[in-house]
Amino acid sequence: MAEIRIDRLQKNRMRSQLESVLDVHRQLETTIESYEGQTEVEEYRRFWNELRETNRENIQHLSRYMVTKCNR
C-alpha cells in the first residue's frame, strides 16, 4: 500500500494542533497528581492513579504520532 503524501503546511498545522492537545494532557497530569496527593481514601487514590496512567498513555500516543506522521 502506497503512503499518502501530505504537504508540509498540513503537517505543520497538524503538529501545532497536537502540541496544543499535548499541553492539555500535561496540565491534566499535574492536576491529577495534585488531587491524588490530597485524597485520603485508598480506593479514590487508586482511581486517580488509573487516570494518570491512562493520561500518560495518551501522551505517549500523541508524541509517537507527531514523530511518525508529522515528521518531527
Rounded Cα distance, 60 and 47, in Å: 20
What's the pLDDT tens digit per position in 5-51? Answer: 889 999 999 999 999 999 999 999 999 999 999 999 999 999 999 99
Does any domain span residue 22?
yes
Q: What local confidence, expressed as pLDDT, does residue 5 receive?
A: 87
2, part of any domain = no
* 54 part of a folded domain: yes
E-strand stretches of 1-69: none
Q: pLDDT band for 4, please (50, 70, 90 cuts).
A: confident
Residue 21 in domain: yes
Q: What is the domain range of residue 31?
A: 9-69
What is the tens place of the pLDDT at every residue in 39-67?
A: 999 999 999 999 999 999 999 999 999 99
pLDDT at 47: 98
* Number of residues in the chain: 72
- Give the number of domains in the chain: 1
**Burial group, residue 14, by CB count within 10 angstroms (0-12, 13-18, 19+):** middle
Of the candidates 55, 33, 63, the one whose C-alpha atom is nearest the C-alpha of residue 45 is 33
